[in-house]
Structure 1
Amino acid sequence: MLSAFINRFQSLSSERKQLLVHTGLAGIFRVLSASAAFFLSVAVARILGPTESGYFFLGLGLATMLGTLCLLGLDNALLRFIGHAYAEKDMDTTNHVFSYAYLSAVPVSFATGIAVYLATPWLAQSVFDKPDVAPTLRCFALAIPFITLYLLNGYALQAARKVIAAVCSMQLGVTVLTLPVLLMLPNDDATADTAALIYLVGSAITVIVGLGLWLRMPQHRFDVRPRAMPELWFSLPSLWLISATGQALPWASIVVVGLFSSTEDIALFSAAQRTSLLISFMLMVVNFVVAPRFSALYHSGKIDQLRKLAQFSTRLMIFISLPILAVILLWPQTIMSLFGEQFEQAGVLLVILAIGQAINVTTGSVGFLLTMCGHEQDMRNITVLSGLFTLSLLCLLTLKMGILGAAIAVSIGVSAQNLCALYAVKRRLGFIPVG
């Protein structure tokens, strides 16, 4: 059986071999990242309890949402433009795009963090009606610029096909730094604001490590010399809207739940949502590898290879994700009980959210196919419209049905966005990834 697998692997094209090897590496480190994030959620829920963990998840959701918005669409720009430039060994473009990203993201993210810090008493009292959450929100406000920058470092490394460094520079890095310290906290210090402070320090260290990993690579440097890149400037508004609605919406859902529900409900919903992401885990792994390849193949005119890569990666994602979906559908309460007995009731939320993530996986890497192939305006329109639809539905159903309604709204929104993007890929590129 092993020899048959080896023979099968050797018969693949060099591009598919490289894809599988890089996917395997990304998978290993993404497993570590997802596992660490999952155990961090479990540790926070068990150590802090439903109320304090609700404060922590609310602050983390707000900070991550705003930190993502402060990327200004540069995440997709890095993947697209550095991904293509790196394949062509164009280091001038690589350095220029990365430097521009830092010059843009640093002032915006730090200004946002300071503004949120100053507005914390008003947010805690008037917006969330939870005065006790103020100290936690202050710590997470200061973490906003570091979240922006460690994400920026990670996307740049991803575009340069440095898979392991990219994963370590993002979620894995901050979680690995936060989790052990949190587990060693004495019981008297186990509060949401203390956990938030630990996360703040971990995110700052992660930024330094990620920047060091980028600059230590050959020919990498900051390059702030003026250079005309009209395609980049033209694309950024659309890429920002895609990032703002696509990436920030999952965290915005926690903020909406915080507006209409209790602190305990925030903890239940956040735990179920984070667990449901295990379904789309393989999608994130494959996207990590294929996104810069999509850009390189499209701009080289290799559409047939692009189609084969998209369809091969989608089949790989479905094959690995289906068993995870089956486990979640069969034992949702058991899985949620890992967070504590109070979390078993969130099993139904997990099932609803998992169905939406399953549709997300089945449609393939449709978002990256559009943005990496120059059709970011199509993806912008899809994400903005579906984002507004999801946010409206989220507010309506959460107000009427509580966190059950929030889960239904998020699942419907994810499904609608990906099905619309699937249609756009077929119309623009002439194929569908699930073919």
Structure 2
Amino acid sequence: MVMKNYGSRSLSESTALLNHPFFASVAVLGIRLLSSVSAFLFTVLITRSIGASGAGIFFTGLSLATVASILFRFGTDGAALKYIAREHGLDNFELARSYFLFGLTVSIIGGLLGTLLLYLGVWTGIRYYGLDADYGTYLAAFSFSLLPLSIMALMSESLKATDRVSMSVIVSGLINFVVAGILLSPMRSIFGNVGVSIAYLSGLVAAITMAAVHLRHYLRMGPILPVRTLDYVRSLRHFWLISIFNRAIGPYAPLLLLSLLSTVEQVGLFGTAFRVAMVLSLFLAAANAVLSPRISQLYYRGELTKLCILTRRFAFFQNIFVVPLLVTMVVSREQLMGLFGPEFVSGATAFTILAIGQVFNSLTGSVGNILVMTGHEREMWFSSVFGTVLMLLASILLVPSFAATGAAFATAFGVIATNTSALLFVRLRLGFFVVPWFLACNGPMQNLRKD
């Protein structure tokens, strides 16, 4: 079905359109800021407690668990956001609940399978390479975070889909770090370095408990309506492939490659620099959290001009804050990295490169969310593959010689390539550029609905 949307909206209409999402994003941004501060302080606690080498092992274990969680939840979190947001917007509560329960079942089964395989895989690798048993115990302990990570991701996206965006952000990025930070010292004093993973796991359980309280209406017993299984599974496949390339291989492959080709100290430097650079993405993350359900609703109502205006204005406002923040952080990069300990100052160059990549991510706006929430998962998948392949090639070439700095360059290169491709696909498929200073939101724009 092809529908065309011409013309522009009046100033009063566009202002009315912006007001509610804008103020919602301010609240989300405040919570995102608290989340970033809590993650930053948690990283400081980790690095100050166990040093660069211990931090390297921590980031390796956490990366393995995160990547495995993405692989074994099979795209259920992305599909939940798309389908639950759509049915919620159409007031089909029972059908939205059915999609949630379907995704939760898949996540639990996949999470249990992934936990077993990761645990066995870690110990197989430890024995094969003849590494220390304590090192294996530390890494294997993170395998038990896989299932909670999967459930937390699904519940967080489901909260977002039902317009409880602030609670979604609290669940996915605040409560887990706060609880983990509080428990870090006592858990480590009781269990040694394994206590770090136990503290992190406790934070995930706390986040899931909070999410379950707010999703209790979805978790109640009752009849389950049949879902469009074939359509849902097809979307799962696309979301799964996108998440593998964009959220598993892309962010974590350089770190895992670094752990194989360099020292744990270099892994610690890169992991810390990466987490600090991610502070620059909090404005985009806040915008995405608010925009995702609205993008789906506007698209399926055929209101592309409103969609264009909304996404471009969000891109404009977030970049007002991001660019000055980049300059400030880069100028004080050595002092910033020095907060984690004197041995981390040498990671300042890696941080600068990663920060530039994150700023480009912000400059291009919510292009990935726009493609996914409008049914163009295939285009987002292609963009993710394109960026990931370039990132892997750069990692193979640069990591052996330049260690953490090479991994940072490869990561930033992949981010820039992925977002450039997605930006062009939004223009090609929907007829507008998200970049706020490039062309106006006026027709023709086309809505190629994929019902």
Which bin holds the TM-score, normalised by the shorter protein? over 0.9
The 8 Å contact of residues 25 and 287 in structure 2, kept in 1 or not, is answered as yes
1:55 to 50, 54, 57: 57
Bigger mean CA offset, 387-396 vs 29-38: 387-396
Could you tell me which residue of structure 1 aligns to residue 205 of structure 2?
Answer: 204
**What amino acid is aligned across from residue 231 of structure 1 in structure 2?**
D
**What amino acid is aligned across from residue 255 of structure 1 in structure 2?**
L
1:338 aligns with 2:308: no
Distance 1:130 1:246, change over 3 A: farther
1:170 Cα deviation after fit:
1.3
Partners of 1:221 and 1:252 in 2: CA distance:
41
Partners of 2:12 and 2:310 in 1: CA distance:
17
In the TM superposition, 1:60-75 aligns within 5 A as 60-75=62-77
The 8 Å contact of residues 47 and 190 in structure 1, kept in 2 or not, is answered as no
- Per-residue displacement from partner, 1:145-165 (whole Å, max 9, x unpaired)? 011111111010011110222
Aligned length: 425
Partners of 2:129 and 2:86 in 1: CA distance:
44
1:247 Cα deviation after fit:
1.1
1:123 Cα deviation after fit:
2.6
1:380 aligns with 2:400: no
Partners of 1:156 and 1:222 in 2: CA distance:
19
Partners of 1:178 and 1:314 in 2: CA distance:
33
Q: Secondary structure at the match of 1:279?
A: helix
TM-score (ref. length: structure 1): 0.92
Distance 1:128 1:317, change over 3 A: farther
Could you tell me which residue of structure 2 aligns to residue 245 of structure 1?
Answer: 245
- Per-residue displacement from partner, 1:318-358 (whole Å, max 9, x unpaired)? 11111210112211111100111110110000100111111
Could you tell me which residue of structure 2 aligns to residue 324 of structure 1?
Answer: 325
**What amino acid is aligned across from residue 58 of structure 2 in structure 1?**
F
Partners of 1:287 and 1:308 in 2: CA distance:
15
Q: Secondary structure at the match of 1:359?
A: helix
Distance 1:260 1:195, change over 3 A: same
Partners of 2:233 and 2:45 in 1: CA distance:
43
Partners of 2:419 and 2:378 in 1: CA distance:
15
Partners of 2:28 and 2:68 in 1: CA distance:
26
1:254 aligns with 2:258: no
1:224 Cα deviation after fit:
4.2
- Give the RMSD, CA atoms, in angstroms: 2.1
- Per-residue displacement from partner, 1:87-145 (whole Å, max 9, x unpaired)? 11111221111011011111111111111112222233546956542112121101100
Distance 1:92 1:264, change over 3 A: same
1:171 to 173, 176, 181: 173
Partners of 2:13 and 2:75 in 1: CA distance:
39
**What amino acid is aligned across from residue 244 of structure 1 in structure 2?**
I
1:372 Cα deviation after fit:
0.6
1:14 aligns with 2:16: yes
Could you tell me which residue of structure 1 aligns to residue 84 of structure 2?
Answer: 82
TM-score (ref. length: structure 2): 0.89
Bigger mean CA offset, 311-320 vs 232-241: 232-241
Distance 1:144 1:128, change over 3 A: farther
In the TM superposition, 1:87-236 aligns within 5 A as 87-126=89-128, 131-184=133-186, 191-216=192-217, 224-236=224-236
Distance 1:12 1:374, change over 3 A: closer
In the TM superposition, 1:416-431 aligns within 5 A as 416-431=417-432
**What amino acid is aligned across from residue 90 of structure 1 in structure 2?**
N
The 8 Å contact of residues 274 and 354 in structure 2, kept in 1 or not, is answered as yes
Distance 1:222 1:29, change over 3 A: farther
The share of aligned pairs that are identical, in percent, is 27
The 8 Å contact of residues 44 and 340 in structure 2, kept in 1 or not, is answered as yes
Distance 1:140 1:259, change over 3 A: same
**What amino acid is aligned across from residue 241 of structure 2 in structure 1?**
L
Partners of 1:220 and 1:293 in 2: CA distance:
27
Partners of 1:427 and 1:378 in 2: CA distance:
10
Bigger mean CA offset, 35-44 vs 177-186: 177-186
Partners of 1:112 and 1:127 in 2: CA distance:
22
1:41 to 31, 35, 43: 43
Distance 1:242 1:174, change over 3 A: same
Distance 1:128 1:334, change over 3 A: farther
Partners of 1:125 and 1:354 in 2: CA distance:
37
Partners of 1:220 and 1:285 in 2: CA distance:
30
Distance 1:411 1:320, change over 3 A: same
Bigger mean CA offset, 100-109 vs 112-121: 112-121
Partners of 2:183 and 2:15 in 1: CA distance:
45
Partners of 2:129 and 2:19 in 1: CA distance:
52
1:189 Cα deviation after fit:
5.2
Q: Can you give the 5+ residue segments of structure 1 that lack an aligned partner in the other structure?
A: 1-8
The 8 Å contact of residues 14 and 306 in structure 2, kept in 1 or not, is answered as no
1:16 Cα deviation after fit:
1.1
Q: Secondary structure at the match of 2:280?
A: coil
Q: Can you give the 5+ residue segments of structure 2 that lack an aligned partner in the other structure?
A: 1-10, 439-451
In the TM superposition, 1:310-321 aligns within 5 A as 310-321=311-322
